[in-house]
Structure 1
Amino acid sequence: MFGKEPKWLHLVEMIEHYKLQGVSKFYFYVREIGLYDTFLLKYYADKKEEVELIEIPPIYFDAVSQQLLAIADCHLRNRLFSNWTNFSDIDERMMMTEEKETLREFLQDSISDKNGAVMFAQRWIFKYEKLPQKFENYQQYMMLESMRTDIYSVDSLTRCWIHKALP
């Protein structure tokens, strides 16, 4: 994560959404974020023990190097105790749209251990405004309709960027 724009709503939504989907551990790779966002992540790390913050060393300047570092590090951290790893931005959500099961249940029940990866079709929720600097009250949250992911059911056409798929 990097940049000055507030991320608190994306962070809380992401963590709570994926907890409901069965995720038990989160790694956040941080280059620079605001104090309020840092406070929020440290709350989850200290109180819940489900979040781990990893500082990206300043020697990695470009976004590609930072992302490759995070992917490699996360794979190494998870390889002994996790069956699945999800790499996503803080504004991305994976959810089951046709079934009444969690993502974890789907992976455990439907996907063989012989599968090394699963690709999901993607849809976008477009963002047209910036978040407030920090959370003030519930009414403020409810007014952020164009920012919240929980109010969208149809946002864009489904896209799958794959050239050739094998059955």
Structure 2
Amino acid sequence: MKIGELARAAGTQAETIRYYERQRLLPAPTRTSGNYRVYDATHIQRLAFIRHCRCLDMALDEIRALLQFKDDPTADCADVNSLLDAHIGHVVSRIRELKTLEKDLRSLRVQCVDRHSVSDCGIINGIEKAARQHDHAQKGHTHEPHVAGVHREVGTALQRKMSGSCKKMRA
């Protein structure tokens, strides 16, 4: 099958497939005499595995490591457990950060309960005051990447886009 057919079968974009190939997550497909990529069922299965890992918010390096384990079925799964334990630790840390963020946002929200002009808005004034007092990075709102990968930020357009496709994958 060609890349468009694989994209439709997997529910993703052709560019995503090319990206995963460049990242060496998907094996290079065979090529036709006209230089078209030709994919088979193993590409569909591997792409489904990668996409599910992304739905679990795993970084590309984590996925790459899991694929290496998957490609060596005789390997000890203790390393897989360690990788997942580290990822769980990252998720726990991120949840803690998000709970702090929620608390900060709720605290900010109660500063403006009535309708009035923006110049008197407690939210805008509260943000300006906080911006003058603290540099965001010094306040501890950073998180460490894991398995040498950089995580996408929750709330990016990619995350919103992925969350819809992840819901479809779980159904």
- The answer to whether the superposition gives a TM-score over 0.5 is no
User: Over alpha carbons, which structure has the higher Rg?
Assistant: 2
* Higher RCO (CA < 8 A, seq sep 6+): 1
